[in-house]
Amino acid sequence: MVNIMEANTITKNPGTAVLEDRAQAGTQETAERIPVFKTNNFNLWYGDNHALQDINLRFNQNEVSAIIGPSGCGKSTFVKALNRMVELVPIVRTEGEILYRDQDIFNRKMTVEELRTKVGMVFQKPNPFPKSIYDNVAYGPRVHGIRKKKVLDEVVEKSLRDAAIWDEVKDRLNENAYGLSGGQQQRICIARALATEPDVILMDEPTSALDPISTTKVEDLMHELKKNYSIIVVTHNMQQAARVSDTTAFFYQGYVVEHDDTKVIFGNPRDQRTEDYVSGRFG
């Protein structure tokens, strides 16, 4: 419970401080937590709408980091800022820093292409290209200049295996991806993201258009993928965040109320608003 005095003094981002404190404490467990993304007082406006306010977050390597919060609180805007996709909206203005592996993503030294090669994205609605399954997955590598069939074959197979869909599609790689079920299409999109060998995979409500069985498959997949990648996933499904993630950030009206280990956010949050949200009192 948070009393009124405490509530008044709550900073907008207490959870981040907790993670930093623990990291600095240098225990065995936290010493291994290597950040892939850090944001320092990141702000974003759509015209006059201050959609993201002083975001200070840190996401670690080989973890699933969940972002939760009510509709319109800035979750999609935030993940699209991480790979600079949000800048496609002309009225967007940003302030503050986003560091990817300690490099400022807005610095001229890092090109958008470089960033998006390292930071892949999977969207809410499966969006395969109207091409064959093979060509969907080979798309990124081809853009990067890979032409040899043998190399492409290997990349396609590995990506489809890693996306846990190889067995379902290996005999029909030349069929159009549109012929697959929604759940299969989403795993094709994950394979397509994996084919360029990203470091971080952003997922914006990747299962919200899927049936429960496909959802379970994608959740299991996230668990597998974090061994080799880092995943930042937006979800409006609280059970999903609790099941799949290592840390959870609770966004509310454009700022971060609390960010901490998922078991703390769901078991013992510091902020009354987090508790109300995760217990379903508002949504």
Ligand X SMILES: Nc1ncnc2c1ncn2[C@@H]1O[C@H](COP(=O)(O)OP(=O)(O)O)[C@@H](O)[C@H]1O
Per CB under 6 A, residues contacting ligand X are 46, 49, 51, 69, 71-77, 89
> How many residues sit close enough to Mg ion to count as binding (CB under 5 A)?
1
* Partner in contact with 33, chosen from ligand X, Mg ion, none, beta carbon below 5 to 8 Å by kind: none
* Partner in contact with 89, chosen from ligand X, Mg ion, none, beta carbon below 5 to 8 Å by kind: ligand X
Cβ proximity of 207 and 215 under 8 Å: yes
Residues 6+ apart with CB under 8 A from 137: 155, 156, 159, 160, 188, 191, 192, 195
Cβ proximity of 15 and 258 under 8 Å: yes
Instruction: Give residues 131-150 in contact with Mg ion (rule: CB under 5 A).
Output: none
Binding status of residue 215 toward Mg ion by CB under 5 A:
no
* Partner in contact with 73, chosen from ligand X, Mg ion, none, beta carbon below 5 to 8 Å by kind: ligand X
The single-letter DSSP state of residue 85 is G
CB of 243 to ligand X, least distance (A): 20
Instruction: Give residues 24-83 in contact with Mg ion (rule: CB under 5 A).
Output: 76
CB of 206 to Mg ion, least distance (A): 12
Report the candidate in 223, 217, 259, 224 with the shortest Cα–Cα distance to residue 243. Answer: 223
Q: Which is nearer to ligand X, 76 or 240 (CB)?
A: 76
CB of 76 to Mg ion, least distance (A): 3
CB of 44 to Mg ion, least distance (A): 14
Tell me how far apart the alpha carbons of residues 71 and 63 are, in angstroms, rounded to a whole number.
Answer: 24
Q: Which is nearer to Mg ion, 76 or 83 (CB)?
A: 76
Report the candidate in 121, 116, 138, 120 with the shortest Cα–Cα distance to residue 129. Answer: 138
CB of 3 to ligand X, least distance (A): 29
Tell me the two tokens of residue 34.
């290597």
Q: Which is nearer to Mg ion, 76 or 215 (CB)?
A: 76
CA distances for 214 relative to 88, 100, 184, 186, angstroms: 31, 31, 8, 9
Q: Which residue is nearest to Mg ion (CB)?
A: 76
